[in-house]
Amino acid sequence: MSLLLGMAISGGVVSVSGQSTKTGDDNSKGSVWLNNSILEEAPYVNAEKVENRGLINAATPDNVPFYFFNTKYFTNSGTINIRKDFEFSTFKTENQGVDFDPKKAKVFHNHSTGKIISISDEFSTGSVRINAERIINKGLISAENAGVLDLEGDDVN
């Protein structure tokens, strides 16, 4: 049992940040990360399933995309505003260092209320790259200012 943000926690919930929660242990297998709040910084997410129902405003340095670790299933019904680049694949953390060869994720689902927007200034471009076996997009995916939009999947809808 541990004390986190004034709450006693035993098992189940690993981290709580506003209304963002993660279930499971330090291993990502079987874990779920859920965001219901407004996040003004890029969150560190290491979970097999990720669901965004809130707002994520994140900035990334040049040539460094915003991404999740070990995520196979992604669902978005909220808004993700990325200053520069967003990449969705399964980035592993089992090996030390950076995963330069991420694997294809299982499912990427952007609901009709979902927005994923790469925001850039007039001097640069951003990108949104999605690599999953199944891609379902009913919402908005946008890369502003002549940005790169790259959707790779076996079943893209």
**pLDDT score, position 4:** 37
Can you give the pLDDT at residue 103?
Answer: 86
What's this model's pTM, rounded to 2 decimal places? 0.77
pLDDT band for position 14 (50/70/90)?
A: very low
Specify whether the CB–CB gap between 62 and 121 falls below 8 A: no
CA distances from 150 to 135, 138, 142 (A): 12, 16, 10
What are the structural domain ranges in the chain? 2-156
Structure tokens, 12: 């189940």
Output DSSP code: residue 89: S
Q: What is the pLDDT of residues 28-72, one digit of tens each?
A: 678 899 999 999 988 888 889 999 999 999 988 777 788 888 899
pLDDT of residue 78 exceeding 60, the answer is yes
- Residue 116: the pLDDT is 95
